[in-house]
Amino acid sequence: MSNRINPSGGKPIRSFKPALARQVRVAAVNPFHSMIKLTDLKTVRELKPFSEKVLAMRDECFKYLPLFEDHRLMLRGDAAKKLYIDKIVGEPIGTSCVRNDKRTHLNSDIEKAFFLFSLMDEIRARTYRAIYNFLNSTAYGQTEIIPFLLVGFERFREGKPFIQLKPYEQRFSGQTDDIGRTIRNSFALMIPERIAESPEIYFPSSEQENGYFKASTRIKEERYTKGLFDPASGQDYMTNRTGLIDHYNVLLIARTILRFINSQI
């Protein structure tokens, strides 16, 4: 019986051709097909509906997250030629990645928020790794280099116990230089060159956004930050480190990943 989720609303994901993989189950999709650009936002007043879009996208991601009570997600950011991507996508080879090795219950908004924010943190880090490798390669005269995110997933082994993670603790582990593990059922998200060449426009810090808009764009919406900020200790979970545009675009990638995996289970 299929357990895939079909949330209402939202446009279908459009894929580009040619696909990067030889296998039918693998898709190359463009996660930026509906990006809201900085030039569309003029004043802080205009950010309010944008904030609502961030919240709505987060809630859509929440619908998919229970999938990861039973599945491990693996992420890798890199830049390479198409032949290399064809080789690693969908093939049973080892490659370095980060993954959620600890199996946790995702039955509350707070648990989902901590998991989603950890996922967003890793998406951002892997995207920057891919962009760095792309810019470094092209600076040395290499051509036809494609920046991409490699995404894989697999079921946890039978009987793996659930554990309770502390608040503010990362849900993903591993580094780009670890020994790696097999990425099965993987697919690649291509990062368009215009984004790789200007990441500060698409993933600006809240300080950079402040420079663009002459006002803070940190997310203060209580429905979004509730449970992620501890006034007593001053500890927060990503809510103040980045601005609305970064949150929207990273959530857009997260939604693309979650939708695809849901369609394959």
Alpha-carbon distance of 148 to 16, in angstroms, equals: 13
Whether residue 45 lies inside any domain: the answer is yes
Contact of 79 with 137, CB cutoff 8 Å: yes
Whether residue 16 lies inside any domain: the answer is no
The residue behind tokens 């007043």 is 45
Return the DSSP state at 37: P
Whether residue 18 lies inside any domain: the answer is no
Say what the pLDDT of residue 142 is: 92
Whether residue 107 lies inside any domain: the answer is yes
Residue 231: other Cβ atoms inside 10 A: 7
Whether residue 11 lies inside any domain: the answer is no
Say what the pLDDT of residue 129 is: 93
Evaluate the omega torsion of the peptide bond into residue 7 and state whether it is cis, within 30 degrees of 0: no
Residue segments in the chain with a per-residue pLDDT below the cut of 50: 1-4, 6-27
Give the pTM: 0.84
Contact of 155 with 70, CB cutoff 8 Å: yes
Say what the pLDDT of residue 170 is: 83
Which residues form the domain of 236? Answer: 38-264
Say what the pLDDT of residue 25 is: 40
Six-digit token pair at 252?
């857009």
Give 34-79 pLDDT, tens digit per residue: 777 888 888 888 888 888 888 899 999 999 999 999 999 999 999 9
Whether residue 25 lies inside any domain: the answer is no
Whether residue 33 lies inside any domain: the answer is no
Say what the pLDDT of residue 227 is: 74
Alpha-carbon distance of 151 to 102, in angstroms, equals: 18
Rg (CA), the chain: 18
Say what the pLDDT of residue 213 is: 79
Alpha-carbon distance of 165 to 264, in angstroms, equals: 28
Whether residue 220 lies inside any domain: the answer is yes
Please tell me the total count of domains within the chain.
1
